[in-house]
Amino acid sequence: MALILKNARYLNEMNGTWTAKQDDILIEGNTIKEIGRLEHLYSDHEVWDVKNFLIMPGLINGHQHTPMSLLRCYSDDLPLMDWLNKKMLPAEMKMTSEDRYWGAMLSMAEMIKSGTTAYADMYIDMDTIAKAVQETGIRASLARGMIAMDSNYSDRIEESRQLVERWHGSAEGRITAMVAPHSPYMCPPDFLSDAVKLAKELDVPLHTHLAETSDERVMIQERHGMSPVQYLQAAGFFEDTRVVLAHGVHFTEEDLSILESVKGGIIHNPVSNAKLGCGTSNVVELKKRGLNVGLGTDGPGSASTLDMFMEMKAAAWMQKLLHEDASALSAHEVLTMATQNCAEILGIGRETGSIEPGKKADLLFLNMNQPHLLPAHHDASLLVYAAAGQDVDSVMIDGKIVMKNRELLTMDEEKVMYEAKQSAENLLKRL
């Protein structure tokens, strides 16, 4: 099917600056075919006049745990290790496959409704989550989160292998896969090395949590006599493999020297890090060192919201406060983090992250005719500092409209909310 977006006012990045242009956009199948004045093609194609919208590339959530939506605001106001070990892990152990399905569906509904078109997931029971991805039409990079507190871990390695072999490149190419040892503090050396070998063998990225808290630094130093970054380096983590490093809050100068040449980058999670009291990643310094920095929400069990517009605000605000400099991390830089940078880190930069011929049609249609978005002096600033997920009117992923006029078209929103609520209530009864 071919579709022309007529009178499209669209936002793209060029040389570090996001600017709006007005043109027609021809979409053939799942791909942006041509951009320009296309009146001569109107009679041959379906035409959608989109003059009332601002169109931008879909947002990309670089780090997520979708089933944790069932535990939103279940365990708040606790430090990370207490939050994780005393509340979240015991609850997650009681989840059924059906619970995880409805939790994932709820997260995907929230993400699409707030403008996320692609995301990275790390969890267990990934076949169930992949099924939800297939049904909803979202783009996803999936990984089986692997924890190994003893030497009996071959089943987790095998599950990761099967995930990649079964799902990488599936759902019309919308699903890619990664290998995900959970974190330095939950992965002993032999297991970590085996996970790295698997990723290299299968030629897929590695996804892990890294340097999230100061406690993690102390823990790894006491166990192994090195920093978390050095610990990953010793396992070959940064050798010829794309890496998706979630958080990246607590780095030493030596750590940064090691990371400067990595393929991939760091996914900054400002809301989750602030809410758990983990600290603030020095994004300005990471960028100065040449590191690619993307943006993510972390799971809804910690961040509470999956609205990437909130994440963009928090990222900019916190860098300005950290550096006491209003120019630190501009709106233009934050928009790039949430689109192109995330796409490149996840290894899907050829597919998505910008609006240009040859890229997949992953687009947001924003209703800018609202009191809080007027006047429109600078579009990039409006999107980062004033807009919210609720301002997204319609969403296209892989050339298909998955939400129009705030109505989800690939899932029954009322049913998803009802079933997720039931799953959450039943889960709490099992604790």
Question: In which residue are the tokens 């990225």 written?
Answer: 205
Mean pLDDT per 10-residue section of the chain, whose length is 431 residues? 95 92 97 97 96 97 98 91 89 96 98 98 97 98 91 89 98 98 95 96 98 95 97 96 97 97 97 95 97 97 96 98 98 98 98 98 97 95 98 98 98 98 96 87
How many angstroms separate the Cα of 255 from the Cα of each of 39, 63, 217, 228, 260? 55, 21, 11, 9, 9
- H-assigned helices in 168-205: 189-202
pLDDT at 241: 94
pLDDT at 238: 96
Determine the pLDDT at residue 1. 72
Q: Are 2 and 27 in contact (CB under 8 A)?
A: yes
Query: Positive or negative, the Cα torsion across 320, 326, 327, 331?
Result: positive
DSSP, res 354 = S
Structural contact between residues 150 and 109, judged by C-beta atoms closer than 8 angstroms: no
60 contacts 294 by C-beta, under 8 angstroms: yes
Nearest to 206 by CA among 282, 140, 264: 264
Q: What is the rounded CA–CA span in Å between residue 246 and residue 252?
A: 16
CA distances from 256 to 124, 227, 228, 318 (A): 31, 11, 12, 20
| Residue 135: per-residue pLDDT | 98
CB 342 within 8 Å of CB 60? yes
